[in-house]
């Protein structure tokens, strides 16, 4: 029970996650002039591997329902949070959540794919699907420097890295509606891009420039596109981990919000700064499969060589179902639009 008999929420979590969340609630959010969920502390269990995080009960009202966009007011709030936190001496005290962290997610996902291809008896179409994904990862990594460059255009700050409606509560206050993000275990210090994939860029920019006077709307839009790529990597990475671990049922879970993220990125301006072009020369051969060359083939769009025409088809069995889920997470066709928005047209 909390102060004055108020309700509390006890969250069991790994020690490192709990300690990070407690630090963010108590040492970061409490220092900002913004309302947040109050943290009452973190207590380790006997073994020390896990512990309990005690938080104020923020209620059950979420910022948006499933399938809905974040409200404009949340974009303004997020800009205030990013701007205020960027002035705190947090670099080195928070985990790095810049492009390097997402590059490690990409590499881990690729390793998981290779292991699944080697160890699992997959249907031909499913195997071809995963092999095509490996090409996607290769193309993306070859052009990673462009993401790194875009992520330097705005000041780095505290980023949540998992902003979705289920992680954000709202509460009415005398000053108006307040937003209460939860689940900060993936948070750290990074480019705002990590939080911008589903945020209205114009609204965010209009507030952020009060703190960062020199920023341009174009820079916010570019980082939002980078954020869309980061979200796809995170979502696909989790499903590949589940597949590699044999958790087929978990890998079957759908993420209906992912398609909406892709639609948002697709509606943004196509292309970034003039002269930025992707390296589209990636090609790969696995076993006896047909070589897949070029970005378009990799993303399953215009040219699909024999052995890669798998989009919209499914195989049979548990492995096939799990692979189908990964394909839904990746949404390869829509990802082409995001790719082109981030990297520009082929040279």
pLDDT of amino acid 117: 78
- The 8-class DSSP code of residue 332 comes to H
Of 292 and 166, the one with more pLDDT: 166
Residue 156 has pLDDT above 60, yes or no: yes
* Distance, CA of 158 to CA of 187 (rounded, Å): 7
pLDDT of amino acid 273: 36
pTM of the predicted model, to two decimals?
0.76
Q: Work out whether the CA dihedral 81, 86, 89, 93 comes out positive or negative.
A: positive
Give whole-number Cα distances, 26 to 158, 167, 243, 266, in Å. Answer: 14, 18, 37, 38
* Distance, CA of 339 to CA of 296 (rounded, Å): 10
Tokens 């070589």 found at: 291
Q: What is the pLDDT of residues 102-130, one digit of tens each?
A: 999 999 888 888 887 787 777 777 777 77
Confidence band, pLDDT 50/70/90 cuts, at residue 286: very low
Radius of gyration of the chain (CA): 21
pLDDT of amino acid 147: 92
Tokens 């205030």 found at: 80
* Distance, CA of 160 to CA of 150 (rounded, Å): 19
Share of the chain above pLDDT 70, in %: 67
SS3 for 238? helix
Q: How many helices (H) and strands (E) does the chain have?
A: 12, 9
Confidence band, pLDDT 50/70/90 cuts, at residue 327: low
When pLDDT is averaged across residues 163-176 and rounded to a whole number, the result is 85
Confidence band, pLDDT 50/70/90 cuts, at residue 16: very high
- The H-assigned helical ranges of the chain are 15-23, 72-85, 99-119, 124-142, 144-150, 201-208, 217-244, 248-251, 256-266, 295-298, 317-330, 332-343
Residue 277 has pLDDT above 70, yes or no: no
* Distance, CA of 116 to CA of 239 (rounded, Å): 12
* Distance, CA of 151 to CA of 144 (rounded, Å): 11
pLDDT of amino acid 346: 39
* Distance, CA of 335 to CA of 45 (rounded, Å): 43
Share of the chain above pLDDT 90, in %: 42
Q: What is the pLDDT of residues 50-62, one digit of tens each?
A: 999 999 988 878 8
Residue 27 has pLDDT above 50, yes or no: yes
pLDDT of amino acid 262: 38
User: Tokens at residue 138, please?
Assistant: 């290769």
* Distance, CA of 97 to CA of 95 (rounded, Å): 6
Of 300 and 277, the one with more pLDDT: 277
Q: Where are the domains of the chain?
A: 96-154+223-347
* Distance, CA of 119 to CA of 270 (rounded, Å): 40
* Distance, CA of 90 to CA of 96 (rounded, Å): 11
Nearest one of 248, 247, 263, 234 to 329, comparing CA atoms: 234
Of 131 and 191, the one with more pLDDT: 191
């Amino acid at each position: 029970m909390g102060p004055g008999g108020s309700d509390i929420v006890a969250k069991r979590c790994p020690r490192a996650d709990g300690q990070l969340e407690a630090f963010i609630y108590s040492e970061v959010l409490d220092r900002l002039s913004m309302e947040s969920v109050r943290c009452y502390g973190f207590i380790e269990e006997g073994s020390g591997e896990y512990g309990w995080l005690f938080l104020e009960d923020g209620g059950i009202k979420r910022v948006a329902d499933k399938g809905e966009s974040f409200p404009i007011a949340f974009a303004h709030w997020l800009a205030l949070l990013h701007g205020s936190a960027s002035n705190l001496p947090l670099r080195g005290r928070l985990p790095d959540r810049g492009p390097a962290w997402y590059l490690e997610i990409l590499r881990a996902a690729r390793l998981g794919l290779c292991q699944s291809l080697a160890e699992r008896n997959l249907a031909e179409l499913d195997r071809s699907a995963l092999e095509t994904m490996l090409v996607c990862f290769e193309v993306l990594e070859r052009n990673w420097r462009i993401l790194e460059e875009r992520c330097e255009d705005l000041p780095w700050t505290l980023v949540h890295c998992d902003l979705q409606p289920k992680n954000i509560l709202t509460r009415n206050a005398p000053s108006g509606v307040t937003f209460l993000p939860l689940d900060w275990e993936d948070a750290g210090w990074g480019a705002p891009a990590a939080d911008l994939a589903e945020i209205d860029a114009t609204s965010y920019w209009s507030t952020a420039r009060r703190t960062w006077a020199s920023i341009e709307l174009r820079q916010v839009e570019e980082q939002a596109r980078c954020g869309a790529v980061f979200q796809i990597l995170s979502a696909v990475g989790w499903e590949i981990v589940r597949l590699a671990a044999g958790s087929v049922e978990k890998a079957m879970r759908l993420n209906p919000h992912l398609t909406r993220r892709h639609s948002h990125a697709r509606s943004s301006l196509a292309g970034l700064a003039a002269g930025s072009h992707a390296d589209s020369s990636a090609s790969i051969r696995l076993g006896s499969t047909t070589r897949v060359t070029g970005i378009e083939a990799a993303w399953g769009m215009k040219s699909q060589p024999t052995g890669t025409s798998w989009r919209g088809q499914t195989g049979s069995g548990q492995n096939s179902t799990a692979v189908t889920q990964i394909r839904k997470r990746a949404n390869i066709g829509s990802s082409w639009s995001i790719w082109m928005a981030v990297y520009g047209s082929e040279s």
